[in-house]
Chains A and B, each alone.
Chain A
Protein backbone atom coordinates (compact mmCIF):
# COMPACT_ATOMS: atom_id res chain seq x y z
CA UNK A 1 0.00 0.00 0.00
CA UNK A 2 1.21 3.47 -0.79
CA UNK A 3 1.70 5.76 2.15
CA UNK A 4 0.82 9.47 2.15
CA UNK A 5 4.56 9.96 2.18
CA UNK A 6 5.04 8.12 -1.15
CA UNK A 7 2.33 10.24 -2.75
CA UNK A 8 3.91 13.41 -1.39
CA UNK A 9 7.34 12.35 -2.65
CA UNK A 10 5.92 11.71 -6.14
CA UNK A 11 4.18 15.07 -6.09
CA UNK A 12 7.51 16.69 -5.33
CA UNK A 13 9.34 14.88 -8.11
CA UNK A 14 6.71 16.17 -10.53
CA UNK A 15 6.41 19.74 -9.34
CA UNK A 16 9.59 20.89 -11.03
CA UNK A 17 7.69 23.35 -13.19
CA UNK A 18 5.88 25.01 -10.28
CA UNK A 19 8.22 26.18 -7.52
CA UNK A 20 5.27 27.90 -5.82
CA UNK A 21 3.84 24.45 -4.95
CA UNK A 22 6.99 22.96 -3.46
CA UNK A 23 5.84 23.31 0.17
CA UNK A 24 2.45 21.62 -0.32
CA UNK A 25 3.55 17.95 -0.20
CA UNK A 26 5.07 18.46 3.27
CA UNK A 27 1.68 19.34 4.74
CA UNK A 28 0.20 16.27 3.07
CA UNK A 29 2.87 13.94 4.41
CA UNK A 30 3.42 15.14 7.98
CA UNK A 31 1.20 16.14 10.94
CA UNK A 32 1.89 19.87 10.61
CA UNK A 33 -0.27 22.95 10.05
CA UNK A 34 1.83 24.69 7.42
CA UNK A 35 5.07 24.62 5.48
CA UNK A 36 7.32 26.97 3.56
CA UNK A 37 10.32 26.68 1.27
CA UNK A 38 12.78 29.53 1.20
CA UNK A 39 16.17 30.42 -0.14
CA UNK A 40 18.54 32.02 2.36
CA UNK A 41 21.75 33.93 2.39
CA UNK A 42 24.06 35.23 -0.29
CA UNK A 43 23.80 32.55 -2.93
CA UNK A 44 20.19 33.08 -4.02
CA UNK A 45 19.08 35.82 -1.61
CA UNK A 46 16.54 35.40 1.20
CA UNK A 47 13.14 34.78 -0.31
CA UNK A 48 10.09 32.61 0.29
CA UNK A 49 9.50 30.46 -2.77
CA UNK A 50 6.47 28.57 -1.54
CA UNK A 51 4.27 28.84 1.56
CA UNK A 52 1.09 26.90 2.29
CA UNK A 53 -0.52 29.64 4.38
CA UNK A 54 -0.05 33.18 5.64
CA UNK A 55 1.46 32.12 8.95
CA UNK A 56 4.12 30.00 7.23
CA UNK A 57 5.02 32.99 5.06
CA UNK A 58 5.02 35.31 8.07
CA UNK A 59 7.39 33.00 9.99
CA UNK A 60 9.84 33.11 7.09
CA UNK A 61 9.64 36.86 6.90
CA UNK A 62 10.35 37.23 10.61
CA UNK A 63 13.38 34.99 10.36
CA UNK A 64 14.71 36.90 7.33
CA UNK A 65 14.34 40.21 9.15
CA UNK A 66 15.77 39.04 12.46
CA UNK A 67 18.52 36.88 11.01
CA UNK A 68 17.79 34.10 13.48
CA UNK A 69 15.49 31.10 13.71
CA UNK A 70 15.24 27.46 12.72
CA UNK A 71 15.72 27.99 8.98
CA UNK A 72 19.04 29.77 9.54
CA UNK A 73 20.21 27.14 12.03
CA UNK A 74 19.25 24.29 9.71
CA UNK A 75 21.04 25.80 6.75
CA UNK A 76 24.19 26.76 8.66
CA UNK A 77 24.53 23.44 10.45
CA UNK A 78 23.28 21.47 7.41
CA UNK A 79 21.21 19.46 9.90
CA UNK A 80 17.50 19.39 10.74
CA UNK A 81 16.19 21.51 13.60
CA UNK A 82 13.37 19.77 15.48
CA UNK A 83 11.66 21.89 18.13
CA UNK A 84 8.69 20.04 19.53
CA UNK A 85 7.71 22.65 22.10
CA UNK A 86 8.33 26.18 20.97
CA UNK A 87 6.80 27.68 24.15
CA UNK A 88 9.50 26.26 26.40
CA UNK A 89 12.47 25.84 24.08
CA UNK A 90 12.56 28.81 21.71
CA UNK A 91 13.51 31.58 24.11
CA UNK A 92 17.00 30.25 24.64
CA UNK A 93 17.65 29.31 21.02
CA UNK A 94 16.23 32.41 19.37
CA UNK A 95 15.63 35.17 21.92
CA UNK A 96 14.51 37.84 19.46
CA UNK A 97 12.34 35.56 17.36
CA UNK A 98 10.61 34.04 20.37
CA UNK A 99 9.55 37.52 21.45
CA UNK A 100 8.03 38.18 18.04
CA UNK A 101 5.87 35.06 17.72
CA UNK A 102 2.41 34.44 19.16
CA UNK A 103 2.76 31.43 21.51
CA UNK A 104 -0.93 30.58 21.14
CA UNK A 105 -0.56 29.99 17.46
CA UNK A 106 2.74 28.13 17.38
CA UNK A 107 3.37 24.81 19.12
CA UNK A 108 6.21 23.17 17.14
CA UNK A 109 8.77 24.24 14.56
CA UNK A 110 10.86 22.04 12.31
CA UNK A 111 13.41 23.07 9.71
CA UNK A 112 15.29 21.00 7.14
CA UNK A 113 18.28 22.33 5.24
CA UNK A 114 18.29 22.78 1.47
CA UNK A 115 21.79 21.89 0.41
CA UNK A 116 23.13 20.62 -2.88
CA UNK A 117 26.72 19.51 -3.20
CA UNK A 118 28.74 22.15 -1.39
CA UNK A 119 26.02 24.76 -1.81
CA UNK A 120 23.86 25.99 1.04
CA UNK A 121 20.64 27.05 -0.61
CA UNK A 122 18.00 27.58 2.09
CA UNK A 123 15.54 25.61 4.21
CA UNK A 124 12.13 24.02 4.46
CA UNK A 125 10.20 25.18 7.56
CA UNK A 126 7.29 23.23 9.01
CA UNK A 127 5.10 24.53 11.84
CA UNK A 128 2.28 23.14 13.90
CA UNK A 129 -0.22 25.11 16.01
CA UNK A 130 -0.41 22.32 18.57
CA UNK A 131 2.87 20.78 19.77
CA UNK A 132 3.62 17.61 17.79
CA UNK A 133 6.55 15.25 17.61
CA UNK A 134 8.18 14.02 14.39
CA UNK A 135 9.47 10.50 14.94
CA UNK A 136 12.92 9.64 13.54
CA UNK A 137 11.40 8.01 10.46
CA UNK A 138 9.31 11.08 9.67
CA UNK A 139 12.33 13.33 10.19
CA UNK A 140 14.40 11.19 7.83
CA UNK A 141 11.67 11.30 5.19
CA UNK A 142 11.23 15.04 5.49
CA UNK A 143 15.00 15.36 4.99
CA UNK A 144 14.81 13.22 1.84
CA UNK A 145 11.99 15.40 0.51
CA UNK A 146 14.06 18.50 1.26
CA UNK A 147 16.85 17.00 -0.89
CA UNK A 148 14.48 16.76 -3.84
CA UNK A 149 13.36 20.34 -3.19
CA UNK A 150 17.02 21.46 -3.20
CA UNK A 151 17.50 20.22 -6.76
CA UNK A 152 14.32 21.89 -7.96
CA UNK A 153 15.16 25.20 -6.32
CA UNK A 154 18.72 25.23 -7.62
CA UNK A 155 17.73 24.21 -11.14
CA UNK A 156 15.01 26.82 -11.21
CA UNK A 157 17.36 29.52 -9.95
CA UNK A 158 20.02 28.60 -12.51
CA UNK A 159 17.52 28.47 -15.34
CA UNK A 160 16.06 31.86 -14.56
CA UNK A 161 19.31 33.62 -13.72
CA UNK A 162 21.33 35.21 -16.43
CA UNK A 163 24.82 34.03 -15.87
CA UNK A 164 26.87 36.26 -18.10
CA UNK A 165 29.70 33.75 -17.94
CA UNK A 166 27.74 30.97 -19.59
CA UNK A 167 26.50 32.14 -22.95
CA UNK A 168 26.72 28.95 -24.96
CA UNK A 169 29.86 26.92 -24.39
CA UNK A 170 31.83 26.01 -27.49
CA UNK A 171 31.81 22.46 -28.74
CA UNK A 172 35.17 21.78 -27.18
CA UNK A 173 33.98 23.23 -23.87
CA UNK A 174 31.01 20.92 -23.88
CA UNK A 175 33.33 17.94 -24.15
CA UNK A 176 35.38 19.10 -21.21
CA UNK A 177 32.20 19.75 -19.21
CA UNK A 178 31.06 16.17 -19.88
CA UNK A 179 34.47 14.86 -18.78
CA UNK A 180 34.32 16.97 -15.62
CA UNK A 181 30.83 15.61 -15.00
CA UNK A 182 32.42 12.15 -15.02
CA UNK A 183 35.02 13.23 -12.47
CA UNK A 184 32.39 14.69 -10.14
CA UNK A 185 29.99 11.77 -10.38
CA UNK A 186 32.87 9.46 -9.44
CA UNK A 187 34.04 11.76 -6.63
CA UNK A 188 30.61 12.00 -5.02
CA UNK A 189 28.99 8.77 -6.28
CA UNK A 190 25.99 10.60 -7.71
CA UNK A 191 24.09 10.61 -11.02
CA UNK A 192 25.45 12.44 -14.11
CA UNK A 193 22.57 14.94 -13.90
CA UNK A 194 23.39 15.77 -10.30
CA UNK A 195 27.10 15.97 -11.05
CA UNK A 196 26.45 18.45 -13.82
CA UNK A 197 24.25 20.47 -11.48
CA UNK A 198 27.07 20.50 -8.90
CA UNK A 199 29.39 22.01 -11.52
CA UNK A 200 26.78 24.48 -12.72
CA UNK A 201 25.90 25.48 -9.16
CA UNK A 202 29.52 25.95 -8.22
CA UNK A 203 30.11 28.07 -11.32
CA UNK A 204 27.13 30.22 -10.40
CA UNK A 205 28.19 30.54 -6.74
CA UNK A 206 31.70 31.61 -7.64
CA UNK A 207 30.76 33.77 -10.67
CA UNK A 208 32.86 31.71 -13.01
CA UNK A 209 31.98 29.88 -16.21
CA UNK A 210 31.17 26.18 -16.22
CA UNK A 211 34.03 25.74 -18.67
CA UNK A 212 36.44 27.31 -16.22
CA UNK A 213 35.31 25.04 -13.40
CA UNK A 214 35.35 22.00 -15.70
CA UNK A 215 38.92 22.78 -16.77
CA UNK A 216 40.02 22.91 -13.13
CA UNK A 217 38.29 19.62 -12.37
CA UNK A 218 39.75 17.75 -15.35
CA UNK A 219 43.23 19.13 -14.63
CA UNK A 220 42.90 17.92 -11.02
CA UNK A 221 43.11 21.45 -9.61
CA UNK A 222 39.68 21.16 -8.02
CA UNK A 223 37.73 18.27 -6.60
CA UNK A 224 34.58 17.65 -4.59
CA UNK A 225 34.90 15.65 -1.39
CA UNK A 226 32.19 14.12 0.74
CA UNK A 227 32.90 14.19 4.46
CA UNK A 228 30.99 14.16 7.73
CA UNK A 229 30.06 17.83 7.43
CA UNK A 230 28.68 17.51 3.90
CA UNK A 231 30.35 18.10 0.57
CA UNK A 232 33.38 20.30 0.26
CA UNK A 233 35.30 21.77 -2.64
CA UNK A 234 39.02 21.34 -2.43
CA UNK A 235 41.32 23.25 -4.71
Chain B
Protein backbone atom coordinates (compact mmCIF):
# COMPACT_ATOMS: atom_id res chain seq x y z
CA UNK B 1 0.00 0.00 0.00
CA UNK B 2 1.25 3.43 -0.82
CA UNK B 3 0.95 6.39 1.51
CA UNK B 4 -1.75 9.02 1.02
CA UNK B 5 0.28 11.63 -0.79
CA UNK B 6 1.95 9.26 -3.24
CA UNK B 7 -1.41 7.71 -3.94
CA UNK B 8 -3.02 11.04 -4.63
CA UNK B 9 -0.19 11.88 -7.02
CA UNK B 10 -0.66 8.58 -8.79
CA UNK B 11 -4.40 9.16 -9.11
CA UNK B 12 -3.85 12.60 -10.59
CA UNK B 13 -1.30 11.12 -12.93
CA UNK B 14 -3.78 8.45 -14.00
CA UNK B 15 -6.53 10.95 -14.73
CA UNK B 16 -4.07 13.11 -16.64
CA UNK B 17 -3.09 10.09 -18.72
CA UNK B 18 -6.76 9.29 -19.26
CA UNK B 19 -7.41 12.83 -20.47
CA UNK B 20 -4.48 12.43 -22.86
CA UNK B 21 -5.96 9.20 -24.10
CA UNK B 22 -9.28 10.82 -25.00
CA UNK B 23 -8.07 12.57 -28.12
CA UNK B 24 -9.71 12.04 -31.44
CA UNK B 25 -9.16 8.67 -33.00
CA UNK B 26 -8.12 7.04 -29.75
CA UNK B 27 -8.40 3.34 -29.20
CA UNK B 28 -11.24 2.34 -26.89
CA UNK B 29 -9.56 -0.92 -25.95
CA UNK B 30 -6.42 0.97 -24.91
CA UNK B 31 -8.46 3.26 -22.69
CA UNK B 32 -10.25 0.35 -21.03
CA UNK B 33 -7.02 -1.56 -20.56
CA UNK B 34 -5.45 1.46 -18.89
CA UNK B 35 -8.46 1.69 -16.58
CA UNK B 36 -8.37 -1.90 -15.38
CA UNK B 37 -4.62 -1.71 -14.86
CA UNK B 38 -5.06 1.50 -12.87
CA UNK B 39 -7.66 -0.22 -10.68
CA UNK B 40 -5.18 -2.95 -9.91
CA UNK B 41 -2.29 -0.57 -9.28
CA UNK B 42 -4.08 2.08 -7.26
CA UNK B 43 -6.98 0.38 -5.50
CA UNK B 44 -7.11 -2.39 -2.98
CA UNK B 45 -8.03 -4.95 -5.60
CA UNK B 46 -6.44 -8.13 -6.96
CA UNK B 47 -7.94 -8.22 -10.43
CA UNK B 48 -10.23 -6.05 -12.53
CA UNK B 49 -12.19 -6.48 -15.74
CA UNK B 50 -14.53 -4.46 -17.92
CA UNK B 51 -17.51 -6.04 -19.64
CA UNK B 52 -19.39 -4.38 -22.49
CA UNK B 53 -22.82 -5.36 -23.78
CA UNK B 54 -23.28 -6.39 -27.39
CA UNK B 55 -26.45 -5.35 -29.26
CA UNK B 56 -28.32 -8.37 -27.89
CA UNK B 57 -27.45 -7.27 -24.35
CA UNK B 58 -24.95 -10.05 -23.77
CA UNK B 59 -21.83 -9.03 -21.84
CA UNK B 60 -18.35 -9.78 -23.09
CA UNK B 61 -14.94 -9.12 -21.49
CA UNK B 62 -13.19 -6.30 -23.33
CA UNK B 63 -10.32 -5.65 -20.94
CA UNK B 64 -8.93 -7.46 -17.92
CA UNK B 65 -5.83 -7.21 -15.75
CA UNK B 66 -4.83 -10.71 -16.79
CA UNK B 67 -5.47 -12.51 -20.02
CA UNK B 68 -5.26 -15.81 -18.16
CA UNK B 69 -8.18 -17.79 -19.45
CA UNK B 70 -9.28 -18.78 -15.94
CA UNK B 71 -9.81 -15.14 -14.95
CA UNK B 72 -11.58 -14.31 -18.21
CA UNK B 73 -13.77 -17.39 -17.84
CA UNK B 74 -14.64 -16.45 -14.27
CA UNK B 75 -15.67 -12.93 -15.26
CA UNK B 76 -17.76 -14.40 -18.01
CA UNK B 77 -19.46 -16.72 -15.55
CA UNK B 78 -20.27 -13.59 -13.58
CA UNK B 79 -21.65 -12.10 -16.77
CA UNK B 80 -24.01 -15.02 -17.25
CA UNK B 81 -25.21 -15.32 -13.65
CA UNK B 82 -23.48 -13.21 -11.03
CA UNK B 83 -22.77 -9.73 -9.74
CA UNK B 84 -21.48 -8.49 -13.11
CA UNK B 85 -24.74 -9.03 -14.98
CA UNK B 86 -26.79 -7.99 -11.94
CA UNK B 87 -25.02 -4.65 -11.87
CA UNK B 88 -25.58 -4.22 -15.60
CA UNK B 89 -29.29 -5.07 -15.41
CA UNK B 90 -30.09 -2.97 -12.36
CA UNK B 91 -27.73 -0.11 -13.13
CA UNK B 92 -26.58 -0.28 -9.49
CA UNK B 93 -23.34 -1.11 -7.70
CA UNK B 94 -23.43 -4.73 -6.58
CA UNK B 95 -21.11 -5.47 -3.71
CA UNK B 96 -20.48 -9.03 -2.54
CA UNK B 97 -18.31 -8.69 0.57
CA UNK B 98 -18.07 -12.46 1.00
CA UNK B 99 -18.31 -14.51 -2.17
CA UNK B 100 -18.79 -17.73 -0.19
CA UNK B 101 -22.18 -16.36 0.90
CA UNK B 102 -23.31 -15.59 -2.65
CA UNK B 103 -26.73 -17.04 -3.58
CA UNK B 104 -27.03 -20.44 -5.25
CA UNK B 105 -28.16 -18.95 -8.55
CA UNK B 106 -24.60 -17.59 -8.78
CA UNK B 107 -23.00 -20.91 -7.86
CA UNK B 108 -20.88 -21.13 -11.04
CA UNK B 109 -19.33 -17.76 -10.36
CA UNK B 110 -19.12 -18.36 -6.61
CA UNK B 111 -17.29 -21.67 -6.92
CA UNK B 112 -14.98 -20.45 -9.68
CA UNK B 113 -14.03 -17.35 -7.69
CA UNK B 114 -13.42 -19.31 -4.51
CA UNK B 115 -11.17 -21.80 -6.29
CA UNK B 116 -9.09 -18.93 -7.66
CA UNK B 117 -8.76 -17.37 -4.20
CA UNK B 118 -11.10 -14.43 -4.64
CA UNK B 119 -13.05 -13.52 -1.52
CA UNK B 120 -15.07 -10.44 -2.47
CA UNK B 121 -16.27 -8.63 -5.56
CA UNK B 122 -17.47 -5.15 -6.38
CA UNK B 123 -19.35 -4.60 -9.65
CA UNK B 124 -19.94 -1.06 -10.87
CA UNK B 125 -22.36 -0.24 -13.68
CA UNK B 126 -21.13 1.80 -16.63
CA UNK B 127 -23.99 4.07 -17.55
CA UNK B 128 -24.89 7.59 -18.47
CA UNK B 129 -28.55 8.45 -17.89
CA UNK B 130 -30.57 5.79 -19.69
CA UNK B 131 -27.63 4.28 -21.54
CA UNK B 132 -26.25 1.19 -19.83
CA UNK B 133 -23.21 -0.08 -21.65
CA UNK B 134 -21.38 -2.48 -19.35
CA UNK B 135 -19.74 -2.97 -15.96
CA UNK B 136 -16.40 -2.57 -14.20
CA UNK B 137 -15.66 -5.47 -11.87
CA UNK B 138 -13.15 -5.53 -9.05
CA UNK B 139 -12.10 -8.81 -7.45
CA UNK B 140 -10.26 -8.98 -4.14
CA UNK B 141 -8.51 -11.67 -2.15
CA UNK B 142 -9.90 -10.37 1.13
CA UNK B 143 -13.46 -10.31 2.38
CA UNK B 144 -15.29 -7.13 3.26
CA UNK B 145 -16.56 -4.00 1.57
CA UNK B 146 -14.26 -2.04 -0.68
CA UNK B 147 -12.68 0.93 1.07
CA UNK B 148 -15.04 3.99 0.66
CA UNK B 149 -12.28 6.04 -0.97
CA UNK B 150 -11.58 3.21 -3.41
CA UNK B 151 -15.30 2.95 -4.15
CA UNK B 152 -15.37 6.57 -5.20
CA UNK B 153 -12.26 6.23 -7.32
CA UNK B 154 -13.55 3.08 -9.00
CA UNK B 155 -16.85 4.84 -9.75
CA UNK B 156 -14.86 7.70 -11.30
CA UNK B 157 -12.93 5.20 -13.42
CA UNK B 158 -16.16 3.57 -14.58
CA UNK B 159 -17.57 7.00 -15.44
CA UNK B 160 -14.47 7.91 -17.41
CA UNK B 161 -14.73 4.67 -19.35
CA UNK B 162 -18.41 5.37 -20.07
CA UNK B 163 -17.78 8.94 -21.12
CA UNK B 164 -14.84 7.77 -23.21
CA UNK B 165 -17.08 5.46 -25.17
CA UNK B 166 -19.98 7.91 -25.42
CA UNK B 167 -17.58 10.73 -26.25
CA UNK B 168 -16.28 8.84 -29.20
CA UNK B 169 -19.89 8.68 -30.27
CA UNK B 170 -20.33 12.44 -30.22
CA UNK B 171 -17.17 12.79 -32.30
CA UNK B 172 -19.12 11.20 -35.14
CA UNK B 173 -22.68 12.20 -34.63
CA UNK B 174 -23.98 9.85 -37.26
CA UNK B 175 -22.97 6.67 -35.51
CA UNK B 176 -25.09 5.05 -32.87
CA UNK B 177 -23.98 3.98 -29.45
CA UNK B 178 -24.61 0.36 -30.35
CA UNK B 179 -22.20 0.71 -33.26
CA UNK B 180 -19.56 2.09 -30.92
CA UNK B 181 -20.01 -0.85 -28.62
CA UNK B 182 -19.89 -3.23 -31.53
CA UNK B 183 -16.69 -1.60 -32.66
CA UNK B 184 -15.11 -2.01 -29.23
CA UNK B 185 -16.21 -5.64 -29.08
CA UNK B 186 -15.12 -6.10 -32.70
CA UNK B 187 -11.62 -4.91 -31.89
CA UNK B 188 -11.58 -7.51 -29.15
CA UNK B 189 -12.23 -10.16 -31.83
CA UNK B 190 -9.26 -8.89 -33.84
CA UNK B 191 -7.09 -8.80 -30.71
CA UNK B 192 -7.93 -12.46 -30.03
CA UNK B 193 -7.09 -13.35 -33.63
CA UNK B 194 -3.80 -11.45 -33.37
CA UNK B 195 -2.97 -13.34 -30.18
CA UNK B 196 -3.46 -16.55 -32.16
CA UNK B 197 -1.22 -15.36 -34.99
CA UNK B 198 1.58 -14.33 -32.61
CA UNK B 199 1.21 -17.47 -30.49
CA UNK B 200 1.56 -19.60 -33.62
CA UNK B 201 4.35 -17.72 -35.36
CA UNK B 202 6.40 -17.14 -32.21
CA UNK B 203 5.62 -20.41 -30.49
CA UNK B 204 4.41 -18.75 -27.30
CA UNK B 205 1.23 -19.05 -25.21
CA UNK B 206 -1.72 -16.74 -25.91
CA UNK B 207 -1.11 -14.72 -22.73
CA UNK B 208 2.49 -14.12 -23.66
CA UNK B 209 1.29 -13.21 -27.15
CA UNK B 210 -0.96 -10.50 -25.71
CA UNK B 211 1.91 -9.07 -23.68
CA UNK B 212 4.06 -8.88 -26.79
CA UNK B 213 1.33 -7.11 -28.76
CA UNK B 214 0.83 -4.65 -25.96
CA UNK B 215 4.51 -3.97 -25.48
CA UNK B 216 4.92 -3.35 -29.19
CA UNK B 217 1.89 -1.01 -29.23
CA UNK B 218 3.24 0.97 -26.30
CA UNK B 219 6.78 1.31 -27.54
CA UNK B 220 5.54 2.45 -30.95
CA UNK B 221 2.79 4.66 -29.51
CA UNK B 222 0.08 2.78 -31.37
CA UNK B 223 -3.28 1.48 -30.25
CA UNK B 224 -3.55 -2.19 -29.31
CA UNK B 225 -6.39 -2.68 -31.81
CA UNK B 226 -4.40 -1.02 -34.54
CA UNK B 227 -1.39 -3.26 -33.96
CA UNK B 228 -3.69 -6.28 -33.75
CA UNK B 229 -5.35 -5.59 -37.10
CA UNK B 230 -1.96 -5.13 -38.77
CA UNK B 231 -0.88 -8.48 -37.38
CA UNK B 232 -4.05 -10.14 -38.63
CA UNK B 233 -3.81 -8.66 -42.13
CA UNK B 234 -0.17 -9.77 -42.12
CA UNK B 235 1.26 -6.30 -42.78
CA UNK B 236 3.09 -6.42 -39.46
CA UNK B 237 5.16 -9.20 -37.99
CA UNK B 238 6.28 -8.63 -34.41
CA UNK B 239 10.04 -8.71 -33.91
CA UNK B 240 11.44 -11.42 -31.64
Contacts and interface: CB of A to CB of B under 8 A. Distances in A.
A192 to B, nearest CB: 6
Interface string A168-180: 0011101110111
B11 interface: no
B133 interface: no
A26 interface: no
Nearest to B237: A186
Contacts of A192: 190, 193, 232
B76 A171 contact: yes
Determine chain A's interface SS by DSSP, over half rule.
Answer: helix
A67 B59 CA distance: 51
B176 to A, nearest CB: 23
Interface string B77-100: 001100000000000000000000
A27 interface: no
Greatest chain A CB density within 10 A among B58, B72, B197, B198 is at B197
Interface core residue of A170, A172, A180, A218 (most chain B CB under 10 Å): A172
A182 B232 contact: yes
A190 to B, nearest CB: 10
A183 interface: yes
Given A181-B193, A182-B195, A187 B200 contact: yes
B189 interface: yes
Interface string B171-214: 00000000000000000011011111111110000100000000
Contact of B196 (A170, A174, A180, A189): A180
Nearest to A177: B192
B168 interface: no
A185 interface: yes
Contacts of A183: 196-197, 199-200
B76 A179 contact: no
B192 A186 contact: no
B69 A182 contact: no
B146 to A, nearest CB: 25
A181 B69 contact: no
Contacts of B196: 178-186, 218
Contact of B193 (A170, A171, A172, A179): A179
A178 B79 contact: no
A64 to B, nearest CB: 39
A180 B61 CA distance: 18
Contacts of B195: 179, 182
Contact of A218 (B59, B72, B198, B199): B199
A100 to B, nearest CB: 49
B59 to A, nearest CB: 8
Contacts of A171: 58-61, 76, 79-80
Interface string A186-203: 110100100000000000
B56 to A, nearest CB: 10
A180 B190 CA distance: 12
A223 to B, nearest CB: 8
Given A171-B61, A187-B200, A218-B206, A182 B194 contact: yes
A179 B58 contact: no
Given A175-B192, A178-B189, A179-B199, A189 B234 contact: yes
B61 A185 contact: no
B225 to A, nearest CB: 13
Interface of B: 58-61, 69, 72-73, 76, 79-80, 189-190, 192-201, 206, 232, 234
15 contacts: A171-B60, A171-B76, A171-B79, A178-B196, A182-B192, A182-B193, A182-B194, A182-B199, A182-B200, A185-B196, A186-B200, A192-B190, A192-B193, A218-B199, A218-B206
Please list the 4 inter-chain residue pairs (A to B) with the smallest Cβ-Cβ separation, ordered nearest first: A182-B196, A178-B192, A182-B193, A179-B196
